[in-house]
Amino acid sequence: MAPPATVDGHREKILILDFGSQYTQLIARRVREAHVYCEIHPYSMTLDAMRAFAPRGIILSGGHQSVYADGAPALEPEMFRLGVPILGICYGMQLMARHCGGTVAASNRREYGPALVTSLPDCGELFREFFQETPTQVWMSHGDHVTALPPGFRVAGRSDNAPVAAMFDPERHLYGVQFHPEVNHTPRGESIIDRFVRGLCACQGLWTPGHFIDWAVDHVRATVGGDQVILGLSGGVDSSVTAALVHRAIGDQLTCVFVDNGLLRLHEGDEVMATFAEHMGLKVIRVDAQEEFMANLAGVTDPERKRRIIGHTFIRVFEREARRIDGARWLAQGTIYPDVIESAGAKTGVATAIKSHHNVGGLPEDMGLALLEPLRELFKDEVRQVGEELGLPHRMLYRHPFPGPGLGVRILGEVKPEYADLLRQADAIYMAELHASGHYERISQAFAVFLPVRSVGVMGDGRTYEYVIALRAVETKDFMTAAWYPMPYELLSRIANRIINEVSGVNRVAYDITSKPPGTIEWE
């Protein structure tokens, strides 16, 4: 019996046209949560390109401009005759209304934040589940609104400040909402997107971690053939999942290079080797480059110079090791979809460029390696789901973000080996207590910071003059803004006591209660 054909989750596609909304990636996340593949493209995408993409449906994002302003983003009217369902969100709805013969005008009162929408008895099949109760809370962000419906459209819901808060044309399968169903502040908003892609667009939900792995393994094998592949393994989520996925596809044709720069967390190098080399059977070359990194960082205090030095040193070390691998033709990287979007400049109309050598700091082109980026279509949460399917440890996949320069930007001022050792020990105690108390999973990012200042203390019968450790913990959904985490006093006290008692050279611990803004999450 022939093996079953690989299910290609790309077979069902939703096209998201971006008009500059800060929430566009959230729309894509909601579509993916419905297990349907989607891509974000600029609003300037041509009609021929849309036909070639062959979407099951189209979503028009929000945007910050007025549809009637000079130079405002527009669409070809022919798009509405492609024969697929279209959902317009905020600016997208206004654009749909104007293109189809309706009227959009400035509102007497702008509407930003929570609002209540009252549904009409016949609200259409897209909105029935969403309008379980009326009025329904939504999240608005607009200064204009639809004042006259286009021919063929009906009102599904209205608010005090938006006479058309939701509309639909049942004959042409065109739908619009003035509010943002993709944000968490619109309860049950995901039901609108789920119903649109799974119901109206008739998608079955083929975009699953298992189906993706099967497809990606076939794709990597077909792309690479019998060539050798190298990968810069950092121990982070993206590079780890890439390594596991490529290894499943081509086995010993993959060689990973793990550079220990002396700026990793406590025992991190050993953990990476244990996970990948010992338990998963990957070929991993561990390079001890601590002395080289520290020598290059000596005397440097400027944060940006530190970042550049760490990045450039990594390139030199990685390139040196990579050239020793005979027959290498491909460089595997953990580039993920947000990297593609952000570096493509989707808002300016370039949707396919990517951030060159995103995870390895910009390797020289003369290495002659072609890029292999099997995760470039995935969001971070999807990467983690794929990693779980591949058998990677949960603790590795769901650990807090760790910066590329490592502890180099968590040691204020000059980086010295003794400072890194103190910080490693303090950070390990902090993480252990957060895990033991159950708070680690509730925090978006937590870490310790080394302050190169000495404070006076009293230990036993004598005075001390030792260093300070600052603790940082934040809650955030998108890392654009963040609130400091309200750590229980008892837990803070236990962490501080352990650090001071167990880390020789530290006599004071502080807790950072600065939110973002005005501060940043990292200290440098």
d(CA 67, CA 96): 10
- Asked, as a colleague might, if the bond just before 518 is cis with ω within 30 of 0, I would say yes
- Residue 91 makes CB contacts below 8 A (sequence gap 6+) with 19, 21, 60, 61, 62, 63, 64, 65, 67, 73, 142
Active site residue 201: no
* Active-site option among 41, 99, 145, 180: 180
Closest CA to 233 of 287, 195, 180: 287
Active-site hit among 39, 41, 90, 123: 90
Cβ-contact 455, 468 below 8 angstroms: yes
Residues in the chain: 524
**How many Cβ atoms from other residues are within 10 Å of residue 372's Cβ?**
25
For the chain, the maximum distance between any two Cα atoms, rounded to a whole number of angstroms, is 86
- Distance of alpha carbon 505 from its chain centroid, rounded? 37
- Mode of pairing for the β-strands spanning 283-288 and 13-18: unpaired
What is the separation, in whole angstroms, between the first and last Cα of the chain?
59
User: Is residue 263 helix, strand or coil?
Assistant: coil
Q: Which two tokens stand for residue 321?
A: 């090791």
Look-up of token digits 């938006």: 162
Judge whether 180 counts as a catalytic residue.
yes
Ramachandran category for residue 499: left, alpha or beta (phi over 0 → left; psi -120 to 50 → alpha): alpha
Exactly one of 12, 39, 111, 182 is catalytic; name it: 182
User: Does 123 qualify as catalytic in the annotation?
Assistant: no
Could you tell me which of 516, 245, 189, 234 has the C-alpha nearest to residue 374?
245
Positions marked catalytic: 90, 180, 182
